[in-house]
C-alpha cells in the first residue's frame, strides 16, 4: 500500500506534510504535491498533518485516480522536504469541488 495526495491539495498546497515524512517522498507540482508510492513506507504520520485532509491511504475505495496521478508525477516533479509559504489564496480553494479538472497543472514546482 501507500498513502496518496488527492485533489483536495490542489491550490491549497499547505506543505505541512513534507516536514514530517521520515523518507522525504513528497514531490512538488505547480499546484499540488504527490507522494512517491514506491518510497512511502506507510507510516501514516503525514495524514493528520494536512489541514484539508488531502492525504489518504490507498486502501480506501475510489482512490485509483489519485494513485495514478501520484505515481506518474512523483517521477516527473522535484523532491520537496522543506515547507515554504503556501499560496496567498490557499484558503479560497479549501472547499472547491472538482479541482482536478479546473486547476490541475502538470508543470513542476520549484522543489527544495
Ligand atoms: Fe511519508 Fe509516512 Fe506519509 Fe508515506 S505515510 S508519505 S512515508 S509521512
Ligand atoms: Fe497538500 Fe495538505 Fe500537504 S494541502 S501540500 S497535502 S499539507
Any idea what the Cα angle at residue 55 is, between residues 52 and 56, rounded to 5°? Answer: 125
Ligand nearest to the CA of 22: 1
Ligand nearest to the CA of 91: 2
User: Is the pTM for the entire model greater than 0.75?
Assistant: yes
Cα distance between the two ends of the chain = 26
Nearest Cα neighbor of 6 from 69, 48, 86 is 69
Closest CA to ligand 1's atom 6: 40
What integer pLDDT is reported at residue 68 of this predicted model?
A: 98
Instruction: Give me the CATH code for the 3-83 domain, please.
Output: 3.30.70.20
Write out the H or E segment, with its range, that includes residue 33: strand 33-35
112 residues of the chain, pLDDT tens digit each: 999 999 999 999 999 999 999 999 999 999 999 999 999 999 999 999 999 999 999 999 999 999 999 999 999 999 999 999 999 999 999 999 999 999 999 999 999 9
Q: Evaluate: CB of 5 within 6 angstroms of ligand 2.
A: yes
Ligand 2 centre and the CA of 53: distance in Å? 8
Q: Evaluate: CB of 20 within 6 angstroms of ligand 2.
A: no
The DSSP line for 55-95 is: EEETTSTT-HHHHHHHHHHHTTSPB--S--PPPTTGGGGTT
Contact between 17 and 86 (Cβ < 8 Å): no
Ligand 1 centre and the CA of 71: distance in Å? 14
Amino acid at each position: 500500500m501507500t498513502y496518496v495526495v488527492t485533489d483536495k491539495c490542489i491550490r491549497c498546497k499547505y506543505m505541512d506534510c513534507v516536514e514530517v515524512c521520515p523518507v522525504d517522498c513528497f514531490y512538488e507540482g505547480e499546484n499540488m504535491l504527490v507522494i512517491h508510492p514506491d518510497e512511502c513506507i506507510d507510516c501514516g504520520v503525514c495524514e493528520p498533518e494536512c489541514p484539508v485532509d488531502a492525504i489518504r491511504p490507498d486502501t480506501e475505495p475510489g482512490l485509483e485516480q489519485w494513485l495514478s496521478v501520484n505515481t506518474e508525477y512523483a517521477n516527473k516533479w522535484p523532491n520537496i522536504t522543506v515547507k515554504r509559504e503556501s499560496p496567498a489564496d490557499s484558503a479560497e480553494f479549501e472547499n472547491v469541488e472538482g479541482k482536478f479538472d479546473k486547476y490541475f497543472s502538470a508543470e513542476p514546482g520549484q522543489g527544495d
